[in-house]
């Protein structure tokens, strides 16, 4: 198992954790049984903000690890 495959495994598991984390973050905003517009707007804003931030952090972690693995590999063309 090489570093490239391990890195791709990391992207899968961290992507999964990201989805669960985003759902945990929006959980307090959704109260069962209510469907009010204000609540829905709050849900969208908080959900979008948390998901965007988490996505950016996640992508950056993959990019940094990817560049490091690529640089340590066996040369270019």
Residues that bind other proteins (CB under 8 A): 2-5, 7-9, 11-13, 15-16, 19-20, 23-24, 26-27, 30, 32-33, 35, 37, 40-41, 43-44, 47, 55, 59, 62-63, 66-67, 69-77
| Cα–Cα distance measured from residue 45 to residue 63, given in angstroms and rounded to the nearest whole number | 27
Contact 26, 50 (CB under 8 A): yes
Query: Considering beta carbons, is residue 44 or 53 the nearer one to other proteins?
Result: 44
Write down the least CB distance from residue 69 to other proteins, Å. Answer: 5
């Amino acid at each position: 198992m090489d570093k490239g495959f391990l890195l791709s495994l990391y992207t899968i598991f961290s992507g999964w954790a990201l989805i669960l984390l985003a759902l945990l973050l929006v959980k307090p905003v959704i109260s069962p049984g209510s469907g009010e517009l204000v609540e829905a707007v709050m849900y969208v804003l908080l959900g979008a903000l948390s998901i965007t931030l988490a996505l950016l952090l996640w992508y950056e972690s993959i990019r940094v690890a990817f560049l490091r693995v690529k640089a340590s590999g066996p040369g270019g063309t």
